[in-house]
């Protein structure tokens, strides 16, 4: 549904990328009012913003003062996006300064606010910036972590503006949830979640592997929706060619054992883990150092050995922590690991309730998402359907629809268990 969006533009070189974000918003039918800071016009001029948005562009509260723009713009907005959000702009927003139209508007809005930071690494890492980001998040704003890449000049590192298409994806999720989320903090604010995605590969030789058809679309949908709900997200991706979701730390792996190491390390301080990846059950017992040649003779049998069950291992580790008195890592005090919510995925041709309940008990997780594969469902498709079985005896049917919708319903179940 079309929405009224305020696009605030900070004075950073990444302001030119906000033009692409504006195009994505307007082409989706949204009415967008661009509110740059005065210095932002040094990077992209007023005429450009007005032409692309079809709306007037001002930077001060004195233009059209009879309409009280610093109040009216914020009161009528369904979403505010600040991109790029510079260190200076976030500092002024955090302390409530209102020296220009954008900062004044930020004081009047009661809708979701999304900040997409862009700055040099040293500025992002500075204690003052980190404190301002924390404060904005505590007040309910969604502040994305910046991407890693080329910065101004020859510098590279953390601080790059996330890809405009990925900012748009988060913004779309915020708009979709605006009517149901209600007031207050996003329901995953302050939570750290770990998500696995994609399909693992087990090498037979340097050119062949055992794998599966998973593309990572569902896991990435979980990551995007979790960011829009305020979570800190770590995504462990196996052989995925999708762009990194905005605001997400991505760890890339290849094999099941690599995924086990990465997920286990990240899960030690996580509130929830969603194992959406398709993990190979077996791997070759030995890997050939050279390419296996076709020499006219049939190859010998390929001996397989079982891969670790990552989800069952996480459940066992959780039980051990609980039995030991549930020590809490210092950096995660207040979020006991024994209360960690574990979500498994089962892409099945047999989706019977009995089979699902048996697998749920064997894995030891809290929720098991059972989704059918085949007939246009499952791997590589934009939509999905599932039944989510709970260890508490519940069963939640999710009708066929976009994978983001499935992810949001599962996050609803996770959030209820975390609270």
Known active-site residue 239: no
In angstroms, the CA 10 to CA 87 distance is 9
In contact, 386 and 371? CB cutoff 8 Å: yes
At residue 109's C-alpha, the angle toward residues 181 and 37, to 5°, is 130
| Catalytic hit among 132, 212, 371, 405 | 212
Q: Give catalytic residue positions.
A: 212
């Amino acid at each position: 549904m079309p929405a009224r969006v305020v696009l605030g533009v900070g004075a950073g070189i990444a302001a030119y990328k906000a033009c692409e974000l504006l195009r994505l918003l307007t082409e989706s039918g949204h009415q967008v009012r661009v509110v740059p800071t005065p210095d932002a016009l040094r990077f992209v001029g007023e005429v450009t913003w007005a032409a692309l948005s079809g709306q007037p562009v001002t930077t001060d509260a004195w233009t059209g003062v009879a309409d009280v723009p610093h109040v009216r713009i914020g009161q009528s907005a369904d979403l505010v996006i600040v991109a790029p959000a510079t260190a200076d702009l976030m500092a002024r927003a955090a302390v409530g300064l209102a020296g220009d139209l954008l900062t004044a508007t930020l004081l009047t809005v009661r809708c979701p606010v999304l900040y997409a930071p862009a700055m040099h690494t040293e500025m992002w890492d500075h204690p003052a910036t980190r404190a301002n980001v924390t404060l904005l998040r505590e007040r309910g704003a969604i502040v994305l972590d910046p991407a890693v890449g080329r910065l101004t000049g020859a510098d590279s590192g953390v601080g790059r503006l996330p890809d405009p298409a990925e900012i748009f994806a988060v913004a779309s999720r915020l708009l979709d949830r605006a009517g149901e989320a209600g007031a207050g903090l996003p329901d995953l604010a302050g939570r750290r979640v770990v998500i696995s995605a994609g399909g693992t590969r087990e090498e037979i030789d340097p050119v062949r592997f055992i794998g599966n058809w998973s593309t990572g679309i569902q896991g990435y949908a979980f990551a995007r929706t979790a960011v829009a709900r305020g979570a800190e997200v770590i995504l462990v991706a196996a052989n995925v060619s999708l762009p990194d979701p905005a605001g997400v730390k991505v760890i890339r792996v290849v094999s099941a054992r690599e995924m086990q190491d990465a997920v286990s390390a990240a899960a030690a301080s996580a509130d929830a883990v969603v194992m959406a990846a398709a993990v190979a059950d077996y791997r070759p017992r030995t890997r050939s150092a050279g390419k296996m040649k076709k020499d006219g003779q049939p190859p010998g049998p390929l001996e397989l050995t079982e891969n670790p069950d990552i989800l069952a291992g996480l459940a066992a580790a959780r039980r051990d922590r609980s039995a030991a008195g549930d020590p809490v890592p210092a950096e995660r005090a207040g979020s006991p690991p024994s209360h960690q919510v574990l979500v498994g995925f089962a892409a099945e041709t047999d989706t019977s309730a009995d089979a699902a309940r048996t697998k749920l008990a064997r894995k030891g997780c809290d929720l098991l998402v059972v989704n059918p594969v085949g007939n246009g469902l499952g791997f590589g498709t934009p939509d999905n359907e599932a039944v989510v079985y709970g260890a508490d005896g519940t069963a939640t049917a999710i009708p066929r629809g976009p994978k983001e919708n499935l992810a949001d319903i599962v996050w609803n179940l996770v959030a209820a268990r975390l609270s």
